[in-house]
Copies of this chain bind each other. A is one copy, B any other.
Amino acid sequence: MTFASIAIIGLGLQGGSIGLAIREYLPHARTTGYDLSAEHRARAGQRQLVDTVCDTAADAVRDADLVIFCVPPGVMGFAAEQVRDALPANALVSDVGSSKQAIAEALTAALPDHTVIPAHPVAGTENSGPDAGFAHLFRNRWCIVTPPDKVDMVKLSQLVAFWEALGANVEIMTPEHHDLVLAVTSHLPHLIAYTIVGTASDLEDVTQGEVIKYSAGGFRDFTRIAASDPTMWRDVFLSNKAAVLTMLQRFTEDLTALQRAIRVGDGEQLFEHFARTRAIRRSIIEEGQDDARPDFGRGDHDGAKATQTSP
């Protein structure tokens, strides 16, 4: 038994991709959608991200047996309140947010009489908005589902089957552990990328033109994730504050150790550290989570520029 009518609130990269994936992989399910931006709603209609784009969130959920909130973490509660009076009592409430404890609390507070099972597909690109989505975004990616302690097992199975149908591999986790894992695999990398891109653009003795020109030395890799949606990322950091600050503290300690090794000229420590990190890359490639080709395969497409990085 699967969902017959799915409402998607927020039609950006995630919401749009879910809509397109449902049409491809679950063609019998009806989809409705809503976005706060009238411009995005119009564009979502043109791209047919969902079967029906509605003018209010309430209209979108009126017949839904699953509603997925695909809005920035900071407005999950607000979006949920908008649909409270229209949402059928037996509808399952879920989301795709990158932090899970804060969102679970916000959704549950706004919809106390509904079953809420948060989820987080670990998939995305640096693009955002209604033009960014595509049907195979979730294929071969992990989707982490974080049910509350007491959960409707039927609905949980339905949600797992839904994400598997969209091509994802599902993992069940507590929200607390999710937030810790993602703090290191996603939130900290984004924070650091945002920082270094800012640092590089604020120097007096190196111009921004030079930074751009010589970015193939490694810098350009950071600019990709630092081009991600600023609203969403602001909310991610604010909603997963404790875990992010913990991981940041660890990172800073390690950076200070390497800084000291450079300052005192401890080549052995540097070498040992740098040799160790190679193995992780290999494992990520072996597990199918990245492209084995040099430079992520950049430049292999038609009209390819030679595209490289480092040193």
A residues contacting B by CB (< 8 A) are 74, 98, 122-127, 132, 136-142, 144, 167, 171, 180-182, 184-203, 205-206, 208, 210-238, 241, 244-245, 247-248, 250-252, 254-255, 258-259, 262-263, 265, 267, 270-271, 273-278, 280-284, 287-291, 293-301, 305-311
Q: Given A213-B287, A281-B126, A311-B190, is A206 in contact with B221 using a C-beta cutoff of 8 Å?
A: no
* Docked-complex contact A212 and B126, CB < 8 angstroms: no
Give the residues in chain B near A238, CB-CB below 8 Å: 262, 265, 267, 270
Q: Which residue of B lies closest to A274 (CB)?
A: B230
Residue A310 contacts which of B142, B198, B228, B309 (CB distance < 8 angstroms)? Answer: B228
CA distance A186 to B211 in the complex (A): 10
* Docked-complex contact A287 and B212, CB < 8 angstroms: yes
* Docked-complex contact A297 and B298, CB < 8 angstroms: yes
CA distance A103 to B229 in the complex (A): 42
Q: Which residue of B lies closest to A201 (CB)?
A: B280
Q: Which residue of B lies closest to A307 (CB)?
A: B291
CA distance A271 to B237 in the complex (A): 11
Residue A263 contacts which of B192, B245, B258, B306 (CB distance < 8 angstroms)? Answer: B245
Give the residues in chain B near A295, CB-CB below 8 Å: 125-126, 224, 296
* Docked-complex contact B212 and A200, CB < 8 angstroms: no
Give the residues in chain B near A247, CB-CB below 8 Å: 199
* Docked-complex contact B126 and A309, CB < 8 angstroms: yes
* Docked-complex contact B226 and A277, CB < 8 angstroms: yes
